[in-house]
Structure 1
């Protein structure tokens, strides 16, 4: 069955999802037809979603972007999670030619030198693999929450993604960190040990640090940049990102 993916459907879903619990939200989306993909970064939000998908045996594809620069703890958690929930987490890697092109232009760690170089790195290591992960999908499930940052404070439960021609489903939009921790405790969900070391938001190792007391949850991501709304591009329109010299990257 082909799912209808447009603004009207997204708005109707946004209203429906608000009154459901996590399992109900995921089950509703999985029942709509079309391919549904959940992309996990193995952070606490995504582990909670994976646990719900696995526990309820929902027909949702689970994928992760294995960028080549992840923390060892994150990579190890992929296999542990697959074993606990008897699921497959499909790994999407950057292409060697794209990495080689990036390194030739910016250097392996050129992302520290400019916003342009950082977005170009995210482009080859995250955005292009994400495009492969979402190919043919009607619904994209994410772990975005309103409490993660000011930039995400208005996150809806469902929104039409015109660039990818699908509906993005943010099933944890209204959850706070304490609700997440309680779910993890009650359901014995495996979590990244880095969370206990001051990393509430975990990305690539060179681009993530522990946060200081009182800092926002995502303050440790690309901390050397000044823009408080810094993102990698996965969850903001491409037009809102700084322009890059090389559109191929």
Structure 2
């Protein structure tokens, strides 16, 4: 086998910072590969043209082209899910290839077992990238192990995934991902099969120094699975337990029949923002994909929300910022209040809309006022500081003779549970 590393310039580096082992490439029987010399910076228009030429090409053809073009300076990003298809395609090309993966430290045991199976099945050594221990320590010490449930997953993903990926890609000129358009139609519907990476940098540094290949961009998820079954390759055992899209253990759960695969990722957040930042440059930039400070989706135009409002009823009072400030200051109210702090894009708020409206109807003549306060966007910091907002929805009861509101502690948001909460306090 031709030693590719000896044909390249000394600037070629492995994915990780440690010296690459000689056997980290898949051995091939007889094929030899002549690796073309790459220019210092890749031209965007060249890859736009190539993307159009390969639009109808098979994943096998696309990966073969990528490996031919970049040789030892390209690697497959393997996540421990159906990305094993990329490795199988790479093996079928007969060319040597490299694989790297991000070990966040929070993966399922089944995923680690899967990594081992893949290494043995293909004869590869996955080049693992780990988060910076000091950064992880600072995050956990300041915010705890599960802060992402309260303030969004973006910060944790940035420390455990995005920054390690950035380090990995600085040792490459190109990478191969398993992104598909059907994974998240709201954010990934415009993925090309090859592009100049719009976010990350490669060996030579600067935007334009890295090429990103997405060979299964146009492939349906069901066709990926048909391929995996036909080739009898190892798969993550979590798939048989209802997991489709697999990430970190605390942030991944099975999906029900008929649910989209991304419903199992960061399920406590808005369904329009199921991204961690690894593919930020490919996200469709529209109102639905706009991220607020919580890492959840909320669309704004000139600072004003554009979603249709929820909790609409003649028996519900819409509180403005001055309104809820006045309510919170009162020490001797004429009647008690129950108020929901909500965001109209939040699917948990949407799910409780019917029961909360019914609660307002039942309490219409009871002397208990039922209100709502939109607490996302510009109001979020105030709500977190002054109104005990942790996540959406947060429900508060303002007693008749007390200035301090009482936070509803349960996740049961049916009308009977809410009514029991009100009856116990009024």
Give the TM-score normalised by structure 2: 0.54
SS in 2 for 1:228: helix
Give ranges in structure 1 of 5+ residues lacking alignment: 245-249
Structure number with larger C-alpha Rg:
2
Q: Is 2:233 the counterpart of 1:189?
A: yes
Alignment partner, residue 63 of structure 2: 26
How far does residue 109 in structure 1 lie from its aligned partner after superposition? 1.0
TM-superposition CA deviations, 1:103-142 (whole Å, max 9, x none): 1221111111112xx2111011101110121113221210
SS in 1 for 2:261: coil
TM-superposition CA deviations, 1:81-120 (whole Å, max 9, x none): 01111111111111210111111221111111112xx211
After superposition, the Cα gap between the structure-2 partners of 1:55 and 1:84, relative to the gap in structure 1 and judged at 3 Å, is farther
How far does residue 51 in structure 1 lie from its aligned partner after superposition? 1.4
Conserved 8 A contact 1:55-1:85: no
2:99 to 45, 62, 65: 62
Alignment partner, residue 173 of structure 2: 138
Aligned equivalents of 1:161 and 1:242: distance in 2?
Answer: 24
How do residues 85-124 of structure 1 correspond to structure 2 at under 5 angstroms? 85-115=122-152, 118-124=153-159
SS in 1 for 2:87: helix
Conserved 8 A contact 1:5-1:167: yes
Aligned equivalents of 1:161 and 1:53: distance in 2?
Answer: 21
After superposition, the Cα gap between the structure-2 partners of 1:180 and 1:33, relative to the gap in structure 1 and judged at 3 Å, is closer
Q: Which moved more, 1:50-59 or 1:228-237?
A: 50-59
Aligned equivalents of 2:252 and 2:70: distance in 1?
Answer: 37
Q: Is 2:228 the counterpart of 1:212?
A: no
Alignment partner, residue 247 of structure 1: none
Alignment partner, residue 37 of structure 1: 75
Q: Which moved more, 1:208-217 or 1:15-24?
A: 15-24
Aligned equivalents of 1:179 and 1:71: distance in 2?
Answer: 25
Q: Which moved more, 1:234-243 or 1:146-155?
A: 234-243
Q: What is the root-mean-square deviation in Å for CA atoms of aligned residues?
A: 2.0
Aligned equivalents of 1:72 and 1:37: distance in 2?
Answer: 24
Q: Is 2:119 the counterpart of 1:82?
A: yes
Q: Is 2:237 the counterpart of 1:201?
A: no
Q: Which moved more, 1:50-59 or 1:137-146?
A: 50-59
Superposition misfits of 4+ residues, deviation over 6 angstroms: none
Aligned equivalents of 1:159 and 1:62: distance in 2?
Answer: 20
Q: Which moved more, 1:213-222 or 1:10-19?
A: 10-19
Q: How many residue pairs get matched?
A: 241
Alignment partner, residue 6 of structure 1: 43
Aligned equivalents of 1:129 and 1:226: distance in 2?
Answer: 26
TM-superposition CA deviations, 1:23-56 (whole Å, max 9, x none): 2111101122371121110111x11101122343
SS in 2 for 1:183: helix
Flag the structure with more relative contact order, 1 or 2, with Cα contacts below 8 A and sequence separation at least 6: 1
Conserved 8 A contact 1:22-1:52: yes
Q: Which moved more, 1:76-85 or 1:230-239?
A: 230-239
Give the TM-score normalised by structure 1: 0.90
Give ranges in structure 2 of 5+ residues lacking alignment: 1-36, 201-206, 295-426
SS in 2 for 1:60: coil
Q: Is 2:161 the counterpart of 1:126?
A: yes
Aligned equivalents of 1:134 and 1:60: distance in 2?
Answer: 15
